[in-house]
Amino acid sequence: MEDTLAGRRCLVFLDAHYPGADYGGNSYISQEHAPTERLPLLAELELLRGRTANALIVLDDVRIYRRDFRTNAGTLPDWVENGFDQEATFLELIASFESTHTVHWHGEDTGYAVLWPRAWGEYELKKWVVPGDQTQPFVLTLGVPGTTCISVNRRLLDARFGNRWLVGKGLDIGGGNDSIALYSTLFPRIESVTVYEWAQGDAQYLENVRDNSFDFVYSGHCLEHVMDPRVALRHWLRVLKPGGHLVITVPDEDMYEQGVWPSTFNTDHKHTFTLFKRKSWSPVSINVLDLLRDFEREVSVKKAELLDHSFMHGMERFDQTRTAFAECGIEFVVQKL
């Protein structure tokens, strides 16, 4: 083993427990085998320590040792043997690899730990983001967390949102603490919402989201933050199922930036948007109708609207989206053909 580990790049996969009843045993808790055979992971890590600088190590079912580690499969059942009393030892052993590896925890299935060799460069494994994934806790924020919050009452008055557009399993791109997921009980045909944020990857490319995987894609005030909105829309449509809807809002340049560029209300904005006008004061303006024409063979436009119904004209210049009523934006909805 030492020659192989020293001479080649290797993948080492370790299972955290003896599989018991999966392989003919009577139970997942048994005294028929020695402790290091029933729960072999600690002994295996001791054996590997200091010998695996060129090996990728994947540990399966880490919830056996981590009592409060959240996984998609939930907590460890009582009828499975655990190593909770050795959790501190387990974490210390993992930490002992940090001189040669970076440690990454994943909550898929029953929980994984990935020890990535520093000699291989930057950690490059990305998990697929799939419908139904809960990528962050959904916690309501008091006050006005964002433009999705402001939009809810307006959208509830338009039956198309609840009956046609926000239907099935959705992806919210850039939802942050104001995701449409927070309000999903108000749109009863939503089955689930997965939020795609920095922790999941680059919103412009969605490189870890499979083609044709989501029933709807939603994004509130994110498109203005990407480097190339046309490239972003290409990928946002790519992950949408045929027949599904893309529901997008962006800030309107005259109501939000109000004639000033770079934006003083959000310095991360890379573009401004207008619904339709011949000439813009903004050097980075994007005409939404022109943008949609680039996709005319791929989508059917269902809606394009200037959300100016609650904008207060004539006021001193300030960010009106910080109020509870002024959306200051443009909304468009398209259906993928």
The answer to whether 95 and 105 are in contact (CB under 8 A) is no
pLDDT value for 325: 92
pLDDT value for 21: 56
pLDDT value for 229: 97
The answer to whether 288 and 332 are in contact (CB under 8 A) is yes
The answer to whether 308 and 251 are in contact (CB under 8 A) is no
pLDDT value for 258: 97
pLDDT value for 73: 80
Residue-range domain boundaries for the chain? 2-120, 147-336
Rounded Cα distance between 80 and 30, Å, is 9
pLDDT value for 18: 61
pLDDT value for 222: 97
Residue 321, CB-side half-sphere exposure with 13 Å CA sphere: 25
pLDDT value for 126: 78
Helix (H/G/I), strand (E/B), else coil: 71:
coil
Rounded Cα distance between 175 and 166, Å, is 15
pLDDT tens string 187-220: 999 999 999 998 899 999 999 999 999 999 999 9
pLDDT value for 80: 81
Helix (H/G/I), strand (E/B), else coil: 112:
strand
pLDDT value for 127: 80
pLDDT value for 19: 63
pLDDT value for 22: 62
| One-character DSSP codes across 43-100 | HHHHHHTTS-TTEEEEEE-GGGT-TT---TT-SPPTTS---GGGHHHHHHHHHTTTTT
pLDDT value for 39: 84
Rounded Cα distance between 83 and 51, Å, is 25
Distances from the Cα of 106 to the Cαs of 43, 46, 238, 312, in angstroms? 22, 22, 26, 47
- Residue 330 has phi, psi (to 5 degrees) of -125, 135
The answer to whether 65 and 86 are in contact (CB under 8 A) is yes
The amino acid occupying position 184 is S
pLDDT value for 296: 95
Nearest-10 crossing angle of helices 87-95, 41-48:
20
Question: Which segments in the chain show pLDDT lower than 50?
Answer: none
Rounded Cα distance between 291 and 288, Å, is 5
pLDDT value for 106: 87
Superfamily of domain 147-336: Vaccinia Virus protein VP39 (3.40.50.150)
